Structure 1
Amino acid sequence: MKEVMAKWKYRGDYRLVDLFDSQLQKKYRECWPRGQAVIVPIPLSEERFAERGFNQAEALARCVTNKPIQALSRIHSEKQSKKSRKDRMMASNPFRVEIPINKPVILVDDIYTTGRTLEFAAQVLVEAGTPSVESFTLVRG
């Protein structure tokens, strides 16, 4: 999985998302059979998006919905993969709410390592009025 993720994220092989599509759909329906939450992918900074050419979390979100909501923006910072656990836990919140959502949200991301990214994103959403936030990730790192 590590090799697939490296090819997908860092070498720009966007079509590898197809490997995950059916399993993501199946797991999503198992976890949220009513499907009434708003799907919000974790955003990349503009700089990171320019490097990669796509947002992997958005690609995963599109596996479970045709209309993920780009409710958050992200301030550019050092890559999470380059940070130690301690650095991740001490970092400041890089997210800002662009579109407040007053319905339950499911945050979608590719890798769950410390949970800090999802925690930060959930924090700003809840502060902006989102009643509940859950997460859906592809792999645990």
Structure 2
Amino acid sequence: MQELIAKWKYRGDYMLVHAFEEMWKARTMAHFSQQECIYVPIPLSEERLQERGFNQAEALARFLPSPPRNLLSRAHSEKQSKKKRQERITSANPFSLNEKVSKPVVLVDDIYTTGITLRHAAKLLKENGCPKVYSLSLIRS
């Protein structure tokens, strides 16, 4: 799995996302089919998006029942994968809100390591009136 993710995420083989499509859709429907949610991919900074050529979380979110909404923006910083656990946990919230929502949100991300990325995004959404925040990640490392 590590090799597949590296090829997809870091070497730009976008089409590998389809290897996850069937499982991803089934998993989502099993957990979120009974409620109307807004699917929000964890954003990349503009610099990281230029570097990679696509947002892997957004690629996953495109398989979900409704189109993803980009409610968040992200400030550029060092890659999470380059940070040690303690650095991740104590990092400042890199997100800003593009639009407030009053429906439940499902945050979509590719890899869950410490959970701090999702916690930062969820905190910002909740502080701005979002009633419920869930998360859906492809891999837990």
Contact kept, 8 Å, 1:122 with 1:133, in 2: the verdict is yes
In the other structure, the counterpart of 1:58 is 58
Shift of 1:35: 4.3
Is the Cα–Cα contact under 8 Å of residues 39 and 66 in structure 2 kept in the other structure? Answer: no
The superposition leaves residues 89-135 of structure 1 with CA deviations (integer Å, 9 ceiling, x where unpaired) of 11000000001111000000000000000000001011111001000
Confirm or deny that 1:90 pairs with 2:90: yes
- Aligned residue runs from structure 1 range 1-141, under 5 A: 1-141=1-141
CA displacement at 1:66 relative to structure 2: 4.7
Tell me, in whole angstroms, the C-alpha distance in 2 between the residues paired with 1:132 and 1:66: 17
Over the matched positions of the two proteins, sequence identity in percent amounts to: 54
Shift in Å, 1:65: 3.4
Which range moves more in the overlay, 86-95 or 65-74?
A: 65-74
Report the residue type matching 1:73 in the other structure: S
SS in 1 for 2:62: helix
Gap change, CA 1:64 and 1:43, over 3 Å in 2: same
In the alignment, the residues of structure 2 paired with residue 50 and residue 33 of structure 1 have an alpha-carbon distance, to the nearest angstrom, of 34
The alignment's TM-score, normalised by the length of structure 1, stands at 0.98
- Give the Cα–Cα distance (whole angstroms) in 2 for the partners of residues 50 and 65 of structure 1: 27
The one-letter amino acid of 1:126's match is K
Offset of 1:63 from its aligned partner? Answer: 1.1
The secondary structure found in structure 2 opposite 1:34 is coil
State how many pairs are aligned. 141
Q: SS at the partner of 2:57?
A: helix
C-alpha change, 1:96 and 1:113, in structure 2 (3 Å) is same
- 3-state SS of paired residue (1:134): strand
Q: What's the TM-score once normalised by structure 2's chain length?
A: 0.98
- The alpha carbon displacement at 1:72 in A equals 0.1
